[in-house]
Structure 1
């Protein structure tokens, strides 16, 4: 039986969102029931998602989400990949602030069946949970790409900004992490930063029509960055959770100390309601990703 997945994404900047979407479109066990977008210029992000879906020969319901964070902020990230929209067929009729209604309806029509995959900052998810407090219990599971969970990384990387999905809207992250979901699993930089791939390491990665679209929209990112498969890991573990090892515990999100905004503190507990990935099998992940993306086309 296929798993019903609802993707919330800030696609259009870092290429990993597009790599994640390509995986879901290619995964034969996935029924992608919808996509919602978050971040600045959410309408353009929705257009990018639609263009990638159409490159895969698929039509997926898409709703543009919140354009701003819960608390006022000067941050307004824009999707550099949108400059390539003219290269691809896509719908242009998206309107922002439609994601919550779309997610709410989809989840209520499929109670206890939806796997919600959140790979952008958590504003849409927080607004959904606040608007309809019954929704979290109606989910099957929630996978989130966020957090660090490593003292070494916190010391060596540009923190907390590198923890983007929590740092950009810590209040939203706090809402989501203070809400109980049947299965709540987080994939942080402690594991995802092990999944770095240089573009020339896998020469045929972008050889299919779908992956050509991913490469085109990701080309602004690739000009100065390698690929780190943050978001695809959270997606892949919906279908093969044994790619990672996990710990169970509790998570608190910092919302008061300015220099630590969005940072997450994990406490291991046998009765905890949050799972975090603590190890990833790099070879197994990339074998899995390549197999899905290239054998489905």
Structure 2
């Protein structure tokens, strides 16, 4: 009996030791993953179309990404920042800085429009934007982490243009610049005729500076983004998930448009960073004309990669998986 108890005791010790070693090995395996997360800055016009919110949710829920900051651009940048603060606070991500870009509501009547989605955070005060201009924040992060930061631009490019004026070399320090920008072969709703894409034509001078900045930019234009929609079945799955992140997307939907299927333009730009295997691109030389069209110039040295194909079903499948498996909360 004594020998039996001794054997059991020895076996338990071996099991305990093995468990400790396994846990230690798993921890050592996980640690490098956290350390090598891709650093990103997200520059957006959150609040107008709802796709910015879907893109922000994808960024925040992706374990492979480290969001250094969210910067707001175009028009009422303060209201956009307040909405970003509300979402990040609700998702337990208070540590992510939100930074306002230059207020451009004086540009035109549309830029001064108070978007219905702003009501979602109208009286929110628990988290506030940091007191630093977006252009200085972006510059500071690029110089702090040279060659490590991916800049994702999904709105009009005033912040990018301001950065180029402020420090022409700063954007060249980015690891990569990905922009939801342009219409090259396909227009809105899959039209075979290119359109004046919103992020370009609302500020043509800024767009011209952006494409000519000397940085090879990857463009997620209408050629791929216009095909990706969150239909009713997709949104019903989000509603059933009942998490702070998915509930926020569902709550913003009726403020934006109760019945319309969102086209997830901006989420596609984030997807190009996360899942490059779902896309095809081609090199090209991009210019912007005075009317706000993006043009591909033949026989010129490429200055960009143009997205030409997306595996839409797989993209939506992966997107839904991220939304369903995250557990962000306060």
Q: TM-score, normalised by structure 2?
A: 0.80
Distance 1:293 1:212, change over 3 A: same
CA gap 1:44/1:90 in 2 versus in 1, 3 angstroms? farther
Higher RCO, Cα 8 Å, sep 6+: 1
Counterpart for residue 252 of structure 1: 287
The verdict on how the C-alpha distance between 1:108 and 1:94 changes in structure 2, with shifts beyond 3 A counting, is closer
Bigger Rg, which one: 2
In structure 2, the partner of 1:85 is 121
CA distance in 2, matches of 1:246, 1:217: 32
Is residue 166–residue 262 contact of structure 1 (8 Å, CA) maintained in 2? yes
- 1:278 partner SS: strand
Q: Which runs of 5+ in 2 are unaligned?
A: 1-35
Report the equivalent of 1:64: 100
- Distance of aligned partners of 1:86 and 1:159 in 2 relative to their CA distance in 1, 3 Å threshold: same
Rate the CA distance shift 1:157–1:223 in 2: closer, same or farther, 3 A. farther
* Closer/same/farther in 2, CA of residues 284 and 267 from structure 1, 3 Å limit: farther
Which residue is equivalent to 1:242?
A: 277
Change beyond 3 A, Cα 1:266–1:56 = same
Moved more, 17-26 or 236-245: 236-245
Aligned to 1:46: 81
Greater fraction helix: 2
Structure 1 residue 165 displacement after superposition: 0.5
Matched residues in 2 for 1:269 and 1:280: separation?
26
Instruction: Give the deviation of 1:143 after TM superposition.
Output: 0.4
Alignment coverage as a number of residue pairs: 288
Question: Displacement of 1:237 after TM fit?
Answer: 1.2
Give the match for residue 313 of structure 2. 283
State the secondary structure of the residue aligned to 1:115.
Answer: strand
Instruction: State which drifts further: 144-153 or 110-119.
Output: 144-153
More strand by share: 1
Relative to structure 1, is the Cα distance of residues 35 and 152 closer, same or farther in structure 2, using a 3 angstrom cutoff? closer
- The RMSD of aligned alpha carbons is 2.5
Distance 1:8 1:63, change over 3 A: same
C-alpha displacement at 1:199, in angstroms? Answer: 2.9
Structure 1 residues 214-261: Cα deviation after superposition (integer angstroms, max 9, x where no partner): 222343223252111100111011121111110101001012xxxxx2
1:175 equivalent among 195, 209, 229? 209
User: Paired residue for 1:164?
Assistant: 198
Question: Any residues of structure 2 matched to 1:207-222 within 5 Å, and which?
Answer: 207=241, 208-222=243-257
Is 1:38–1:120's contact at 8 Å kept on the other side of the alignment? yes
Q: Please give the secondary structure, in 2, of the residue aligned with 1:204.
A: helix
Kindly indicate whether the alpha-carbon contact (under 8 Å) linking 1:39 and 1:78 is maintained by their aligned counterparts in 2: no
Relative to structure 1, the CA distance from residue 120 to residue 157 in structure 2 (aligned partners, 3 Å threshold; closer, same or farther) is: farther
Cross-structure match for 1:292: 322
Query: Structure 1: where are the runs of 5+ without partners?
Result: 256-260
